[in-house]
Amino acid sequence: MAVFLGLAALWQVASIAIPWESVPGEPMFPGWQVLFTQTLMSLSDYWQGGLGVTGIAQGGSRTYAGALLAILSSSWDTSLRLYSGLVLGALVGTSAGLGVSWSRWTRRLVALPGQVLRTFPLLALVPLFQLWFGLTFQGMMLFVAYGVGVIFFTGTVNAVRNIPPIYIDNARTLGAGRLEIYRSVILPAMFPELRSSILLGLGVAWTAVVGAEFLGAQTGLGQIIVYSKYFGYVDRMFLVGLILLVYAAITYSIFERASRRLTEWMPREYADQPALLATAESR
Amino acid sequence: MTATTDRSGYRTAQLELQHVARSFRRSGGQVVEAVADVSMVLQPHEFVCLIGPSGCGKTTLLQLIAGLLPTSHGQILVDGEPVDGPSPERGLVFQRDSVFPWMRVIDNAAYGLKCRGMPPAERVEIARAFLGQVGLGHVERAWPRELSGGMLKRVAVATVFANSPKVLLLDEPFASLDYVTKLQLHQVLLNLWKASRPTVFFITHDVDEALLLADRILVMKAGHLVDDRTIGLPRPRTVEILALVEGVAHKEALLRHLGLEQLVQEGVARP
């Protein structure tokens, strides 16, 4: 917490000490007093009107209500693209990853294409997706799904490979069939190892969705950033960045909570208890 | 399956190996015969121990019987039916910890029954009964990480017995335990065996353990069986029987097989 306050203070000092402007009248380092008044208010430009608040395009004036609605509706659009892509990518990526170990045929089917797809640089594919799908919801969702999917694929293949074979042998001698082994042994045993891939996937999902919106979405948080760039509105870009930060933090904390519950069975790790590590070092 | 249950209602089976062999190709390219040519018959209810020095092919032989490895030659018959892959009829207790850490103790014990499609209430009841018999009734809701090594072995034993196998295979199950815990687990194992009488094939490198448990002791060396002796010592056996004349004679012969000739002659290894 103290760290955050320190960073915020540092930003404020920069806003006072550094007088650069991106375009005349738009400071490179807008202070908090600007961000939470003028900047916040200006986001109501992105409200199309409705719900009793007139949009700027219809001749309304800037209001906090309009700004709030603009943030909410943009966030909604972005989140929808993000989470639908995330879920789709996680499901397809994990299934394909499991397919590598399922049988010789599924391995032939998915292993090589998976490895090849994995190596394409994600952002270089943005124009391709744009040409294929235009500026549609499906296009952006699939782009996110692709970015997330390859990470889940790699993570799953690796996690399955690291499961001690004794658990699978044990399940087999107790009478478990292949489906039962995947359900009750492989899925729970690979989860701890998959955790880092999931975190990585969450990060990529945010990058991918904003990246997809850069290229001409009509709504969404990424679109606000692009629009702001044209006019040198550093303050708006920064504010949207902060909003994204808050969302990412919320997503991570929900995931952390869920994952702690799913790994309740695991031995307590040193990493969870810095005090233990400290004594180990001092010894 | 002719002898699924014998007249007394026990689930047991005859286990027969006919010229069983298994070889591996090493990474260098040369072929290693882990099991060269093993033939044997274990009668229903029999408790047989196999001893041998490490690297003699004991574990490979057990994996072949369990169906986890295919044979290179020969066949394995359970009541005359050839073995083809693992089956819950041949339960296996592993040397290393095999208890699933992501399932609570009771769910571990009930796992085999769940795989066979038994409804939850029924399988939990059976699993609970076996956990009680191995002395773990009080920790059925615990996670495996909260248990000691000896307790984990008890869970593994209860899990296998809950599945009521006809043949029970054990791969040096108690090798990692301290002496007292090991003796306690012998009692647990023998009590469960007396109650359900499956055919037992128990691998160990510990001569005393074999003498305390077995009806018959086989000795394996370099992929072959080199000795087969019936142990007539009365049951229940205590550590003292190792000092009886018959016990000493067996022990001397077995140690000689394991390569301790010199020490036996010099009297060092005498009990």
Cα–Cα–Cα angle for B103, B108, B114, rounded to 5 degrees: 105
pLDDT in tens, chain B (271 residues): 444 455 567 889 999 999 999 999 888 888 889 999 999 999 999 999 999 988 889 999 999 999 999 999 999 999 999 999 999 999 999 999 999 999 999 999 999 999 999 999 999 999 999 999 999 999 999 999 999 999 999 999 999 999 999 999 999 999 999 999 999 999 999 999 999 999 999 999 999 999 999 999 999 999 999 999 999 888 888 888 888 888 899 999 999 888 876 655 555 555 4
**Residue A17 and residue A49 share a domain:** no
Note whether B46 and B200 are within 8 A (CB).
yes
Q: Give the structural domain span for A11.
A: 1-29
Architecture of domain B9-89+165-271: 3-Layer(aba) Sandwich (3.40)
Can you give the residue ranges of every domain in chain B? 9-89+165-271, 99-164
CB contact under 8 A, A265 and B145: yes
Distance from CA of A172 to the nearest CA of B (A): 6
Asked if residue A108 and residue A15 are part of one domain, the reply reads no
Contacts of A71 (CB under 8 A, 6+ apart): A43, A243
Interface of A with B in 176-195 (CB under 8 A): 176-177, 180, 184-185, 188-189
| Structure confidence at residue A216 (pLDDT) | 67
- The pair of three-digit structure tokens given for residue B232, joined into one six-digit string: 């007539």
Distance CA B204, CA B170 (A): 9
Return phi, psi of residue B185, to 5°: -70, -30
Residues A109 and A133 in one domain: yes
Task: Say which of B68, B104, B145 has its CB closest to residue A172.
Answer: B68
3-state secondary structure of B217: strand
- Give the count of domains, chain A: 2
Per-residue confidence (pLDDT) for residue B261, from 0 to 100: 67
Residue B216 belongs to what H/E stretch?
A: strand B216-221
- Do A104 and A22 lie in one domain? The reply is no
DSSP A62-127: --HHHHHHHHHHHHHHHHHHHHHHHHHHHHHHHHHHHHHHH-HHHHHHHHHHHHHHHHS-TGGGHH
pTM: 0.85
* Contact yes or no for A235/A38 (Cβ under 8 A): yes
Interface test with A, best of B69, B98, B168 (most A CBs within 10 A): B98
First CA to last CA distance, chain B? 45
Q: Report pLDDT digits (tens) over A118-141.
A: 778 887 787 888 888 877 888 889
What is the C-alpha separation between B102 and B108, in angstroms, rounded?
9
Each residue of A223-275: pLDDT tens digit? 888 888 787 788 888 888 888 889 888 988 999 899 888 888 888 765 565 55
Q: Could you give the ipTM of this predicted complex?
A: 0.91
Looking at the complex, report in whole angstroms how far the Cα of residue B203 sits from the nearest Cα belonging to chain A.
17
Asked if A85 and A142 touch (Cβ cutoff 8 Å), the reply is yes
Asked if A95 and A133 sit in the same domain, the reply is yes
Contact A267 B145 (CB under 8 A): yes
The pLDDT assigned to A221 comes to: 87
Output DSSP code: residue A269: P
How many CB pairs lie under 8 A apart between chains A and B? 72
Q: Are residues A155 and A48 in the same domain?
A: yes
B163:A174 CB<8 A: yes
Contact B130, B106 (CB under 8 A): no
* CB-CB contact of A222 with A78 (8 Å): yes
A105 and A128 within one domain = yes
Task: Based on the fold, state whether residues A15 and A140 are members of the same structural domain.
Answer: no
For residue B158, report the phi and psi dihedrals to the nearest 5 degrees: -60, -40
Provide the pLDDT for residue A38.
73
Residue type, B58: K
User: Could you tell me the CATH number of the domain that includes residue A85?
Assistant: 1.10.3720.10
